[in-house]
């Protein structure tokens, strides 16, 4: 496996270049919340474009993130199982995920993570991954960074239609249709998505678990902008996913991890309505909006407490959460490359959970956070861009927190060089589950997790701007990390404060952890020859528990990704992608070591007519067998084929 990785790495380096290298003015919105050329932001941002998603035939967003630096995705089994992303070694709940500016992190999960396993590629125009602490603009949870998914809207024609149908291994079929366009006063985009797969066993089949765990997903997106006046527009956006996932657990009588007939249903609805207005001839841009989301997770399957342990497809437990957010953002364009961005937000999260086996009443919780922020960006001598920002969050549970961000980027056009650096704060408020569930801390109020991080890097274009290389060094320290304290089930419990109150729950959440993630990211990419592009990235990162002086769980030191694509004509392509995850430990304290693995996919497409094209791929070409999480399986070699239509 290691030799395969090194061979693939050497092959890609030999051709390395950037699919985006020719774009001098790649514009991003996530780094500053306004449109900015990426080389002026002073931040590390990766952009996955619509073209990238089509070439790689991406089904789930979690499948494409590992091809970007310092992005580690862990999925507990096959497609649709729980999937998390760790940006630069942060915990899953310490990274914020947005769809068209709407937060889709689920407040009812243990740490407030987004359910990435249900986020499929549905009418996506681009994905921006912003790395490093970003709480100044995004508040809580942006310790590791931000994943911003932007859907397609508007167009050059009143109506454009795209549809795909594909099928393949594990009884999988996938249907997707989307339309977008501009007609008079309206820019719009909308899509529908359906996926069904028989799946693989979530519990590793190599351990004697033959039962496949199937998955179904229905999704929809909508994005409309109505230009009511020359300087006034209205935005309406919506996002929905509904999924049913078969899962494995710990069935009696042995209560060891393996096949069982449990399943889960996850529903997420989110929406946004806002008004944009330009005043004073465009000097001041204003946006006021309201966003809301509702998450509903249900788990089915109750086992008896005596033989024959009959399964019943009844509701076992549920978790519901809601978010309501009102926000204002203003942008002042002062001229001379000076821009001030400021805003205010107020958000209320609610939480409702209950185990029908053990609880006599649901557990409820709520919090409100009110925030204000400001940021100034200026460019001096047409080369040096400086950015500074400050934010204050007032929370009804833990009080106030102030975040700071400073960044600088020095571009030297004659050399094709950009040198950048930044410092940023991050924080994450305790989740509602940690605050209000039966595992809440009985002796002390939980504090927010806080982080400080910095980075410095250099980017260089060469070969007449056909190729691009970059190197970035980064570090982040986090303190007051929230962990679970396990109480021994042996009453009485001497000298263990809190365990008397949480003895039968098995423990409680508490602030204890200090961690550090530091390392380097390297990228090289470009157009090798006409119609042949390649890219590769490598991250060497050490993520360490500073109290135990051990590696953090599921944080590999080495990760890498790369691609090589030949596009001889429009809609025709042939290529491969390679992703490598190095050795790591499954548990805290460096227990249950997991070996590294390398996945190689080959992909191709060919146009049949002006409107139809065929595509196909083989995933995990060399049939690598590995466990992404101890005890869980992963798909072996798989093949898929489909047809794409565009009108």
d(CA 215, CA 66): 22
Give which of 545, 451, 512 is closest to 140, Cα–Cα: 451
Question: Given a cut of 80, is residue 493 above it in pLDDT?
Answer: no
Q: Each residue of 354-366: pLDDT tens digit?
A: 988 777 888 899 9
SS3 category, 496: coil
Residue with tokens 């912003």: 130
By DSSP bridging, strand 44-49 and strand 263-279 are unpaired
Question: Given a cut of 70, is residue 310 above it in pLDDT?
Answer: no
> Following DSSP, what letter does each residue of 586-641 receive, concatenated?
EETTTEEEE--EEEEEEEEEEESSSSEEEEEEEESTT-----SSTTB----SEEEE
Neighbours of 84 (CB within 10 A): 22
Q: What is the pTM of this model?
A: 0.93
More confident residue, 229 or 502: 229
pLDDT at res. 16: 40
Residue with tokens 């007449």: 464
pLDDT at res. 102: 92
Beta strands in 184-231, from DSSP E residues, in sequence order: 186-197, 215-229
pLDDT at res. 369: 95
Most confident of the ranges 265-274, 303-312, 508-517: 265-274
pLDDT at res. 414: 87
pLDDT at res. 304: 56
pLDDT at res. 357: 75
- Residue 538 — very low, low, confident or very high, per pLDDT cuts 50/70/90? very high
d(CA 336, CA 385): 12
Question: Given a cut of 50, is residue 8 above it in pLDDT?
Answer: no
Question: Given a cut of 80, is residue 24 above it in pLDDT?
Answer: no
For residues 442 and 501, the answer to whether their CB atoms sit within 8 Å is yes
Domains along the chain?
2-646 (2.40.170.20)
Please state, in angstroms and as integers, the Cα–Cα distance from residue 643 to each residue in 57, 104, 177, 230, 607, following that order: 11, 31, 12, 41, 9
């Amino acid at each position: 496996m290691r030799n395969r990785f090194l061979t693939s790495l050497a092959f890609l380096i030999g051709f390395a270049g950037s699919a985006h290298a020719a774009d001098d003015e790649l514009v991003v919105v996530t780094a500053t919340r306004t449109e900015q050329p990426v080389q002026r932001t002073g931040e590390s941002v990766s952009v996955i474009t619509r073209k990238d998603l089509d070439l790689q035939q991406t089904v789930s967003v979690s499948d494409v993130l590992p091809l970007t630096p310092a992005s580690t995705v862990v999925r507990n089994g096959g497609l649709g199982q729980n999937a998390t992303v760790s940006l630069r070694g942060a915990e899953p709940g310490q990274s914020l995920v947005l769809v068209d500016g709407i937060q889709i992190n689920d407040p009812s999960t243990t740490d407030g993570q987004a359910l990435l396993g249900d986020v499929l590629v549905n009418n996506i125009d681009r994905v921006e991954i912003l790395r490093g602490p970003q709480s100044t603009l995004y508040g809580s949870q942006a310790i590791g960074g931000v994943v911003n998914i932007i859907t397609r809207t508007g167009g050059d024609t009143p109506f454009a239609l795209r549809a795909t149908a594909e099928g393949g291994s594990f009884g999988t079929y996938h249907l997707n249709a989307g339309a977008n366009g501009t007609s008079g006063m309206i820019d719009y985009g909308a899509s529908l998505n359906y996926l069904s797969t028989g799946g693989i066993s979530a519990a590793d089949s190599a351990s004697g678990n033959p039962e496949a765990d199937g998955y179904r997903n229905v999704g929809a997106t909508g994005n409309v902008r109505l230009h009511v006046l020359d300087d006034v527009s209205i935005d309406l956006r919506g996002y929905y996913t509904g999924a049913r996932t078969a899962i494995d657990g710990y069935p009696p009588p042995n209560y060891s991890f393996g096949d069982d007939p449990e399943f889960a249903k996850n529903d997420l609805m989110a929406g946004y309505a806002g008004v944009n207005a330009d005043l004073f001839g465009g000097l001041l841009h204003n946006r006021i909006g309201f966003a809301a989301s509702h998450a509903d997770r249900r788990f089915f399957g109750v086992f008896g407490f005596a033989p024959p342990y009959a399964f019943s497809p009844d509701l076992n437990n549920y978790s519901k959460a809601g978010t309501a957010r009102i926000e204002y953002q203003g942008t002042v364009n002062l001229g001379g490359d000076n821009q001030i961005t400021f805003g205010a937000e107020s958000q209320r999260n609610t939480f409702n959970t209950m185990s029908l086996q053990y609880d006599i009443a649901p557990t409820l919780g709520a919090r409100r956070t009110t925030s204000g922020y400001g940021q100034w960006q200026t460019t001096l001598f047409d080369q040096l861009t400086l950015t500074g920002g400050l934010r204050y969050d007032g929370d009804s549970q833990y009080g106030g927190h102030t975040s700071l961000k400073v960044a600088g980027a020095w571009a030297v056009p004659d050399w094709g060089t950009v040198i950048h650096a930044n410092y940023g704060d991050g924080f994450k408020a305790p989740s509602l589950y940690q605050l209000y569930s039966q595992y809440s801390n009985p002796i002390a109020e939980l504090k927010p997790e806080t982080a400080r991080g910095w980075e410095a890097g250099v980017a260089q274009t060469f070969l007449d701007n056909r190729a691009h290389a970059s190197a970035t060094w980064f570090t982040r320290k986090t303190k007051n990390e929230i962990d679970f304290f396990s109480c021994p089930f042996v009453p009485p419990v001497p000298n263990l404060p809190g365990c008397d109150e949480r003895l039968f729950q098995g423990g409680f959440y508490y602030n204890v952890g200090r961690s550090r993630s530091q390392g380097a990211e390297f990228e090289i990419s470009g157009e090798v020859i006409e119609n042949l592009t390649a890219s590769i990235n490598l991250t060497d990162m050490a993520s360490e528990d500073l109290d135990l002086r051990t590696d953090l769980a599921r944080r590999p030191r080495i990760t890498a990704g790369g691609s090589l694509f030949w596009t001889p004509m429009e809609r025709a392509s042939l290529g491969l992608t390679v992703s490598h995850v190095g050795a790591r430990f499954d548990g805290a304290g460096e227990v249950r070591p997991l070996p590294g693995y390398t996945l190689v996919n080959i992909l191709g497409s060919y146009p049949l007519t002006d409107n139809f094209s065929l595509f196909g791929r083989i995933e995990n070409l060399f049939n690598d067998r590995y466990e992404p999480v101890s005890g869980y399986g992963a798909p072996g070699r798989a093949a898929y084929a489909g047809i794409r239509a565009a009108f």
